[in-house]
Structure formats: structure tokens, C-alpha cells
């Protein structure tokens, strides 16, 4: 939700301060390991400043204050990935001939960016969303372990430690079905976004 608009902003303002800041935070998000970021956030915001809780001990699962630190930790690498892939795709499309032709005809800048450029550049970020799902699945194991969240990743770790192979097989099967389903939905969205794509 944040990485894609920032990728568009960085590509449209190539060489500006927004571009440099976007690339800096994208590089930082990909360079910092999630387990280290999670521990730093717990140390600062939960232990030192006591702004957010460190683990899940609220009355309800969707208590917002318990979601802040795990969400930031889990979304850091995804934000960087989507921002960089969107920026690359937008730069490629903005340099194409039909975009220059649209600008030469006097089409408004916002219309050129969102209707012509972004619509054609969105194929790559859409593919990245499917690939990014694997990062969420692997990253959720670390995040759930650090923040003591009772999720699928934590269940997989517990199953490995207890040699509970049926549970581990169930978790892996669920992740596999989820990944295949996301890939299928992505293929359907290709044809919706770009009518030139057809499946025989």
C-alpha cells in the first residue's frame, strides 16, 4: 500500500530529493534483517519508551496497539521490494514512445502517469506481489517467534521442535495452496489489467 505509490513518486520525480529518499529507505528496508528490526523495535518502543506492547497479551486478537510493531517489522522488506520494482517499471514505461507521444499531444500529466504509464507498469509489481507472498510467509515465522504471536509460522516452529510431522505437513500444504491460489489469481488479473494478454 505504501511502497507502490512511493515507487511511482520516485520514478516521476527522478533525480529529485524524493527519489533519493525513496531509494535510501528502500535500500535500508532490504538491508535490515527482520529479526534484528523486530528486536530493536521491542527494545525501543516496548521496553525503553513503553509506547507499544511487545507481545500479544490483549483482550482481543485485533487490538490495534498490539499490531503496530509486528506490522512494521513484517512490512519493512515488502515496502522496499515493491517500491524498487514499481520505480523500475515506471521508469521503463515513462521512457517509452507512446508516453512521449501522449505528452506531445498535450495530455495532462496526471492522466499520463496514472492512465497510460502506471496501468502498463503495474504488471511487474503485480508479479512481485505473488513473489512477495513467499517473503511474508518466511518472514512471518520470525515475526511470530519474536513477538510471541500464535500464527502459522509459530505453529511450524513448534512442530519442528516437537517432531510433529503431521502438523508440519499441514502447514506446508496450506502455504503451498495459498501460493498456488495467489499465482492463479495473478494470472487472471494480468488479462484484466492488460487486455492484450490472452490465455488459450
What pLDDT, in 10s, does the model give residues 29-63?
889 998 899 999 999 999 999 898 887 665 665 67
Cα angle 55, 61, 63; round to 5: 80
Residue 150, pLDDT above cutoff 80: no
Q: What is the pLDDT of residue 61?
A: 58
What is the rounded average pLDDT of the residues 118-138? 78
**Assigned C-alpha cell, 190:** 494480468
35 in Cβ contact with 142 (< 8 Å): yes
Residues 63 and 134: their CA atoms lie apart, in Å, by 26
What is the rounded average pLDDT of the residues 122-135? 78
Q: What is the pLDDT of residue 57?
A: 61
Task: Give the closest residue to 8 by CA, choosing from 75, 83, 95.
Answer: 83
Q: What is the pLDDT of residue 24?
A: 92
Q: What is the pLDDT of residue 192?
A: 80
Cβ count near 49 (within 10 Å): 9
The phi-psi region of residue 14 (left if phi > 0; otherwise alpha if psi is between -120 and 50; otherwise beta) is beta
SS3 label, residue 194: coil
What is the rounded average pLDDT of the residues 122-147? 77
Q: Which helix (H) or strand (E) holds 4?
A: helix 3-12
Residues 172 and 195: their CA atoms lie apart, in Å, by 35
φ, ψ dihedrals at 109, nearest 5°: -65, -45
Residues 17 and 123: their CA atoms lie apart, in Å, by 27
Tell me the CATH number for domain 3-193.
1.10.3720.10
Q: What is the pLDDT of residue 198?
A: 67
Q: What is the pLDDT of residue 77?
A: 82
Higher pLDDT, 140 or 43: 43
Q: What is the pLDDT of residue 59?
A: 61
For a pLDDT cut of 90, what percent of the chain falls above it? 21
**Assigned C-alpha cell, 35:** 529479526
Q: What is the pLDDT of residue 45?
A: 94
Residues 130 and 180: their CA atoms lie apart, in Å, by 9
Amino acid at each position: 500500500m505504501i511502497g507502490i505509490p512511493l515507487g511511482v513518486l520516485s520514478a516521476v520525480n527522478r533525480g529529485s530529493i524524493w527519489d533519493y529518499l525513496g531509494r535510501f529507505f528502500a535500500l535500508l528496508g532490504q538491508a535490515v534483517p527482520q529479526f534484528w528490526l523486530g528486536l530493536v523495535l521491542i527494545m525501543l518502543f516496548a521496553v525503553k519508551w513503553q509506547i507499544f506492547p511487545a507481545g500479544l497479551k490483549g483482550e482481543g486478537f485485533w487490538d490495534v496497539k498490539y499490531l503496530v510493531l509486528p506490522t512494521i517489522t513484517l512490512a519493512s522488506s515488502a515496502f522496499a521490494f515493491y517500491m524498487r520494482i514499481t520505480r523500475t517499471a515506471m521508469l521503463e514505461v515513462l521512457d517509452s514512445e507512446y508516453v512521449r507521444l501522449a505528452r506531445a499531444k498535450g495530455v495532462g500529466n496526471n492522466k499520463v502517469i496514472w492512465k497510460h504509464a502506471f496501468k502498463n507498469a503495474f504488471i511487474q509489481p503485480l508479479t512481485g506481489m505473488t513473489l512477495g507472498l513467499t517473503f511474508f510467509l518466511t518472514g512471518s515465522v520470525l515475526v511470530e517467534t519474536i513477538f510471541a504471536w500464535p500464527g502459522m509460522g509459530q505453529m511450524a516452529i513448534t512442530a519442528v521442535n516437537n517432531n510433529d510431522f503431521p502438523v508440519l505437513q499441514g502447514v506446508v500444504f496450506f502455504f503451498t495452496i495459498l501460493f498456488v491460489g495467489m499465482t492463479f489469481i495473478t494470472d487472471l488479473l494480468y488479462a484484466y489489467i492488460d487486455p492484450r494478454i490472452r490465455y488459450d
